[in-house]
Amino acid sequence: MRIAAPIEIGPLDADAQQAVRGLAAAAEAHDGVAPLSEQPLLNLGTDAEWITHVVAHTTAGSTIGYVQIDRSGETASAELVVHPEHRRNGRGRVLLRTAERDATLPSRSGEPGQHGKQLRVWAHGDLESARGFARASGLRAVRELLFLTRPTTPTTPTRPLAAETAAPGLPEAPAGYRLRTFRPGADDAAWLRVNARAFATHPEQGRMTLDDLRARQAEPWFDPEGFFLLVPDGADDADPVAFQWTKTEPGQPDDARDGEIYALGVDPEHQGKGLGRLLTDVGLAHLAQAGATRAVLYVEGDNSPALATYERAGFTRAAVHVQYARP
Ligand SMILES: CC(C)(COP(=O)(O)OP(=O)(O)OC[C@H]1O[C@@H](n2cnc3c(N)ncnc32)[C@H](O)[C@@H]1OP(=O)(O)O)[C@@H](O)C(=O)NCCC(=O)NCCS
Domain boundaries, the chain: 7-138, 148-321
Q: What is the pLDDT of residue 192?
A: 98
Residue 208 Cα to ligand 1 middle (Å): 32
Fold match flag (7-138 vs 148-321): yes
Q: What separation in angstroms does the CA of 67 have from each of 61, 163, 188, 291, 317?
A: 17, 50, 31, 35, 28
Distance between CA atoms of residues 150 and 297, nearest Å: 9
Mean pLDDT (the chain) is 91
Q: What is the pLDDT of residue 106?
A: 77
Q: What is the pLDDT of residue 236?
A: 73
SS3 65: strand
Which H helix or E strand runs over 106?
none
CATH of domain 7-138: 3.40.630.30
Q: What is the pLDDT of residue 164?
A: 42
Does the beta carbon of 134 sit less than 6 angstroms from any atom of ligand 1?
yes
| CA trace torsion 42, 24, 36, 143 (10° rounding) | -170
Nearest-CA residue for atom 17 of ligand 1: 133
Q: What is the pLDDT of residue 122?
A: 97
Per-residue DSSP letter, 182: -
Does the beta carbon of 276 sit less than 6 angstroms from any atom of ligand 1?
no
Q: With bands split at pLDDT 50, 70 and 90, how would you rate the model's confidence at 154?
A: low
Q: With bands split at pLDDT 50, 70 and 90, how would you rate the model's confidence at 16?
A: very high
Does the beta carbon of 80 sit less than 6 angstroms from any atom of ligand 1?
yes
Rounded CA Rg of the chain: 21
Q: What separation in angstroms does the CA of 15 have from each of 19, 39, 67?
A: 6, 19, 17
Task: State mean pLDDT over 242-264.
Answer: 96
- Dmax over CA atoms of the chain, in Å, equals 75
Highest mean pLDDT of the ranges 106-120, 162-176, 196-210: 196-210
pTM, two decimal places: 0.79
Q: What is the pLDDT of residue 163?
A: 41
Per CATH, which fold does 148-321 belong to? Answer: Aminopeptidase (3.40.630)
